[in-house]
Structure 1
């Protein structure tokens, strides 16, 4: 649909820019629009489209964060566009029908705009059906009015056109003509005229290049940016069809076809209009008479009807379209209860409250004032919206989503990228500061909606983008390039009963230091049983919810096996992906009796606002009496001591570090933050339990830290590393201190061993307190040839 630019601002644009630059700016504006249209057509033809227009299409393709942010921008842009067209209608009404009979001031113009908007509000409340039925009639009416001007250009000869009296700068003269320093006064008792030459190559030559002057409605100097803002605000109505997707019978077909046809038709008409104006009207006439098309027509009221039809139809289109976007935003609950009233609908799903809220926003825009000022802000918001559409389509294309199969094929990733570059560039050209603020608002909306938006069934592009990047970088990780300098724990925690392992799961979460953390569980059984589906698929969501509630950064791996030991072997071999494989296995100690459940009383368990499974359901599932499989005698199914030792042996055979955890059900992590005056410690005992007699022995008098470190066993250094990592986590670092105990016998020089230990800690950059402990009462039970001889007995 044509905009107010056709009848009310094309002469002004040509007079300021000249014909060549007008064509260039039209080409730039339509290039941006066409690139965005290609992206929009691709998205709209990729599945079912309902009410909500661009917002619905993007939110269902990319998820609520991108769709919601772009939807808000489209809503604001359409509100500004609606206000722009109503301001144009009011300007035409006062300039042509008022004749001084109506008061004309900024306040009165605001009042007139509100009255016109109230009339449009009443029509919009009656439903979009009235608007849809009059669309074809309005198009025919505008075409007839435009055709009368074409005939006037062909048949009218040269004449003098009066400069309108609303152009007060043109009628300002010095009070004393002989004194250039005398004050300026407006002389409206005379009439200035300008030349209308008819078609002339001489006139075309004079209007070929730019000549920036003052805009007489704002009395400010024009420039390239302002003129582009005015041109671009006149081509934004091409998205009107997309905004009314709910009223279309086949939107996935109608939107691409109708939008492309509208782009090509309006571009041709605008260029032809600019050429005819440049070839028939003098520069002075174009710059000082914004209604030159009306004044040069053989019947003024044809163009006046065209202006009224264009402005009223376009403003109503924006009012209805933006209200549909707002209504869909409220239905998706992206902003909680803030937009709940906008969901109210009557009759044939007519969102009356959304229409009223949109109308109130339009009335607020009227306070900005002149039409050209509103046009600048309208262009910025539409450019931001178009940038979002191109980013959306680019994201879908780059993620190579298998289900992104649009029937519209005339687009590619480079058209989307070019659209992003063009919209960003022109935003900065129009107004860099306002554009920067708009981008910040867009990014803020995306971030807020990413973390606060409710879960939706349509999916989110953020997951596809993350998947795409993670897969790419996982392929770059090479296990052959690992180096001890960049070693970090990648932990597999074997959990039998989650109800009694919550404190341990949270503790290991602090221990991982940005490394891989996998929670593994083995269910005894096989797929040969008479079960319709894999039993682990049914319980997997509960495990994920438990991880969410405990706020763990962990993956969950479940497996089904005929024996617990074989299942643990499967987890150790297959957990992780690529170079991200567990190098450390943590499991609980084999107790004589099972530890009591702590899940229900755990202070770690906290509600998440948008979890799909309720907290109570998770607690009930993991604490139910029938959760753990039982033997025939009624006892809980557990590993035998022999199987448990074999599992430990399997871990070592697979060259993985082994940690055995005990008594963690008694740990109260919340106690760390209680009692600021109490000292709490992380104690490390670097003792090689396989060779306890050699602990602390064999140290020479060397001060070389390299030699001192090598005298420690690898298991002792591993303990030091884990303790250091734990002390680096936020809560433990703030409320605890690290202590290292070195065990020696009385035959050794305890002071020298203490000094060497401190040297080693300094060299390893571990901030800890060193303590030397004699343990003759332990060493005396072992022969001097070590634990090997003891094991042989």
Structure 2
């Protein structure tokens, strides 16, 4: 093991060499030496400090996110790409991986051009071509270092660090010696006609992007979880001090005009100008070297994950350390192309946009991970709050759009396009990300909210238990269930293993594996469940009563009429479909028995001439059937199917009754063609529905276990039909309920009744108080009446009447209070919370 400050024997990097040094050398680079003076000169010190503050706010917030997510998982190679892909998934990971690789590759050229400009000025040369030639030569030198590997490049960093330190010391001494307080105050505000805040921000922002260079080397770190937070924060806070202090010294030692007109102003202020030249050369080369090391490793990690098939060759590494030479070669080619463009300021804007996207996604990935509230989110970094990550992501997005709205929208659109492409074509992910945890968090939150809301008939949707122990029947039942879901319900495929003891455990494991395979082959959205029980009927009864979570409970059981049930020695066989129907009905679940002998016709392509018949008896079963028929028409293959409502319970056929059926369908808001069938028998039945693609019929199970359609045995009807769904409803189905109906409406009426009772009690109390006051006043006046007063008898009668009135009023109060107490008790029992507790 190595210490934090040294390379280990095996070549693994510690905090100082692997994170702090490449990060700080990239941050304190070309912008510091060649562009910060211009920013101060063009913007004034006040606005410059704002630019530095906003830029570093992004780096600080992103560092917090990085520290949290890096200490919550074992970080592999690929840096930002690895962290984002393992959190947001393969689509976001692939999109940001490409962006990060391009950003790092472009940065190589950006720093090499800066080196070319600096060396051209030092040598007193001129010309755009000269800058490009020098940049190209530097690029070739760095390519050779990167080709050899990270070890030699890491040692090169220490030489650069020494020159950078000496250059800054020389500048600080020179700036302090030339300090002028009056000039400092004068330089606080910019001159007229200076560039806008966001133009200057885009020019400066690449200065703070280097803090992720250490992250890009995550695969070469001895302890990424420890080194990434420590090294990144140290580099960020040191760079903040340097940039603020350098900007202040610029403003206190040189005029804004000089700063804006001379990119080499730092050299003029420094005690030894040649040290600034050495610092510029060292900083630009080291920054380019860091990007040359980071970009290929991002590409290598992206290729290793096999997200883009055409990138797979770049996963190959060379030597014991797995140096990504193919990625180095590709980064070199991109950098060469960018060098030919040669415009440093133009490239700075492009690099800013790329890095802002990556930082925004890194912040969002951390916020996403924390928002999932997963028990596995336990970062060792304690000073973290998910709100900081959200703020960081929003700031990155806002700054992108503020710098260049059109370019920002285009960048987001490109990222979204890559995301959508990967969503359609990517292979299954090779790792677990945080999306499932986030979805489970949403399930929990939404179930809790749904539980608090009152159930209403309008909320009904099919939660279907599909029961079958035969593979082919299960597949066909799943097809039918997916149709009656109507894109709103939930299906669970169930197998009941009839066994006990050790055999039950074995058979259950085999059944679970087999059922999972079936669902995978069908690409079904259904869930799977396998139960083991010695008695199938008991298992089904318990299943129907207990299946679900909170307000989502099973309400429909789908069985196959055609299934050949298991033999007596079959450990996973049902006994008889009737044995399945009874416990399901007794448990309150609707039943659908499906005769699917012509299922291939249903599963095949689109046919707009299909017909669905619903035999109508105007009861709950009928309403369930017409609703299921409607839900089937939501399926793409059945969207133009015609529904016929066949009313067979009527004794006559006339315009008035037909209008009643039309009105019923209108209230249900279901398009169907009503038809009255008189005198139902087998001949009429076959003539009406014999050629119909799908028939819904209501059935009942008689005491002798005969399944009947009215007075007709189902066994005699099915051979003459194509595909039949036999339905029994055990729940109330209300298709025309208004929002005021249901539980909410009942509680509203109870609430109103409670309030009226409270008012009656208050009114009775007022009357009782008035009666008592009248009686009291009369008694006071009665003391003045003498015994021989001729009106004495009248007064006595009035006193008795007042006393009776008072007693009656008090009785009224007690009566109304009793009523209120009774209503209050009902309200409590119904879960209606009352503000004013009744004593």
TM range (shorter): 0.7 to 0.9
Please name the residue that 1:231 is paired with.
Answer: 204
String of CA shifts for 1:649-686, please: whole Å, max 9, x gaps. 22222222211111346442244536x7xx43112222
- 2:636 corresponds to 1:730: yes
SS of the aligned residue for 2:444 comes to helix
Pick from 557, 581, 596 the counterpart of residue 663 of structure 1.
Answer: 596
SS of the aligned residue for 1:478 comes to helix
- 2:229 corresponds to 1:207: no
Pick from 553, 557, 560 the counterpart of residue 585 of structure 1.
Answer: 557
**Which of the two has greater helix per residue?**
2
Please name the residue that 2:431 is paired with.
Answer: 458
Q: Relative to 1, partners in 2 of residues 1:496 and 1:310: Cα closer, same or farther, differing over 3 Å?
A: same
Deviation at 1:50, TM superposition (A): 2.6
Please name the residue that 1:573 is paired with.
Answer: 545
- 2:94 corresponds to 1:121: no
Please say if residues 60 and 236 of structure 2, whose CA atoms lie closer than 8 Å, have aligned partners that are also in contact.
Answer: yes
Q: Which has the higher contact order (CA 8 A, sep 6+)?
A: 1
Return the alpha-carbon distance in structure 1 between the equivalents of residues 340 and 435 of structure 2. Answer: 39
Pick from 8, 25, 37 the counterpart of residue 11 of structure 1.
Answer: 37
Please say if residues 644 and 672 of structure 2, whose CA atoms lie closer than 8 Å, have aligned partners that are also in contact.
Answer: yes
Please say if residues 504 and 664 of structure 1, whose CA atoms lie closer than 8 Å, have aligned partners that are also in contact.
Answer: no
- 2:591 corresponds to 1:650: no
Return the alpha-carbon distance in structure 2 between the equivalents of residues 777 and 63 of structure 1. Answer: 60
Q: Relative to 1, partners in 2 of residues 1:278 and 1:758: Cα closer, same or farther, differing over 3 Å?
A: closer
Q: Relative to 1, partners in 2 of residues 1:47 and 1:14: Cα closer, same or farther, differing over 3 Å?
A: same
TM-score (norm 1): 0.78
Deviation at 1:281, TM superposition (A): 1.1
Please say if residues 516 and 580 of structure 1, whose CA atoms lie closer than 8 Å, have aligned partners that are also in contact.
Answer: no
Please say if residues 372 and 439 of structure 2, whose CA atoms lie closer than 8 Å, have aligned partners that are also in contact.
Answer: no
- 2:422 corresponds to 1:518: no
Pick from 197, 220, 232 the counterpart of residue 259 of structure 1.
Answer: 232
Deviation at 1:272, TM superposition (A): 1.7
SS of the aligned residue for 1:658 comes to strand
SS of the aligned residue for 2:65 comes to helix
Deviation at 1:343, TM superposition (A): 1.4
Deviation at 1:423, TM superposition (A): 1.7
Please say if residues 496 and 522 of structure 1, whose CA atoms lie closer than 8 Å, have aligned partners that are also in contact.
Answer: yes
Deviation at 1:298, TM superposition (A): 5.0
- 2:682 corresponds to 1:682: no
Please say if residues 45 and 406 of structure 1, whose CA atoms lie closer than 8 Å, have aligned partners that are also in contact.
Answer: yes
Return the alpha-carbon distance in structure 2 between the equivalents of residues 284 and 473 of structure 1. Answer: 61
Which aligned pairs between 1:731-746 and structure 2 lie closer than 5 A? 731-734=637-640, 736-743=641-648
Return the alpha-carbon distance in structure 1 between the equivalents of residues 682 and 174 of structure 2. Answer: 114
Q: What stretches of structure 2 of length at least 5 have no aligned partner?
A: 1-24, 685-699, 712-839
Deviation at 1:208, TM superposition (A): 1.4
Return the alpha-carbon distance in structure 2 between the equivalents of residues 142 and 631 of structure 1. Answer: 86
SS of the aligned residue for 2:580 comes to helix
Pick from 79, 92, 100 the counterpart of residue 118 of structure 2.
Answer: 92
Deviation at 1:720, TM superposition (A): 1.8
Return the alpha-carbon distance in structure 2 between the equivalents of residues 328 and 37 of structure 1. Answer: 22
Which aligned pairs between 1:123-522 and structure 2 lie closer than 5 A? 123-154=145-176, 198-211=178-191, 213=193, 222-335=195-308, 337-348=309-320, 349-478=322-451, 481-513=454-486, 514-522=488-496
SS of the aligned residue for 1:586 comes to strand
Which aligned pairs between 1:535-684 and structure 2 lie closer than 5 A? 535-589=507-561, 593=564, 631-632=568-569, 638-641=573-576, 644-664=577-597, 666-673=599-606, 679-684=609-614
Please name the residue that 1:721 is paired with.
Answer: 627
Instruction: Quote the RMSD (CA, aligned, Å).
Output: 2.9
Please name the residue that 2:72 is paired with.
Answer: 46
Q: What stretches of structure 1 of length at least 5 have no aligned partner?
A: 156-197, 214-220, 595-628, 688-711, 781-785
Return the alpha-carbon distance in structure 1 between the equivalents of residues 74 and 674 of structure 2. Answer: 68
Q: Relative to 1, partners in 2 of residues 1:588 and 1:15: Cα closer, same or farther, differing over 3 Å?
A: same
Q: Relative to 1, partners in 2 of residues 1:485 and 1:11: Cα closer, same or farther, differing over 3 Å?
A: closer
Aligned residue pairs, count:
664
Q: Relative to 1, partners in 2 of residues 1:135 and 1:388: Cα closer, same or farther, differing over 3 Å?
A: same
Q: Relative to 1, partners in 2 of residues 1:233 and 1:344: Cα closer, same or farther, differing over 3 Å?
A: same
Please say if residues 525 and 560 of structure 1, whose CA atoms lie closer than 8 Å, have aligned partners that are also in contact.
Answer: yes
Which aligned pairs between 1:739-754 and structure 2 lie closer than 5 A? 739-743=644-648, 748-749=652-653, 753-754=657-658
Please name the residue that 1:176 is paired with.
Answer: none
SS of the aligned residue for 1:728 comes to coil
TM-score (norm 2): 0.74
Return the alpha-carbon distance in structure 1 between the equivalents of residues 364 and 703 of structure 2. Answer: 70
SS of the aligned residue for 2:624 comes to helix
Please name the residue that 1:68 is paired with.
Answer: 94
Deviation at 1:312, TM superposition (A): 0.6
Task: Report the more deviating stretch, 548-557 or 129-138.
Answer: 548-557
SS of the aligned residue for 2:183 comes to helix
Return the alpha-carbon distance in structure 1 between the equivalents of residues 119 and 296 of structure 2. Answer: 26
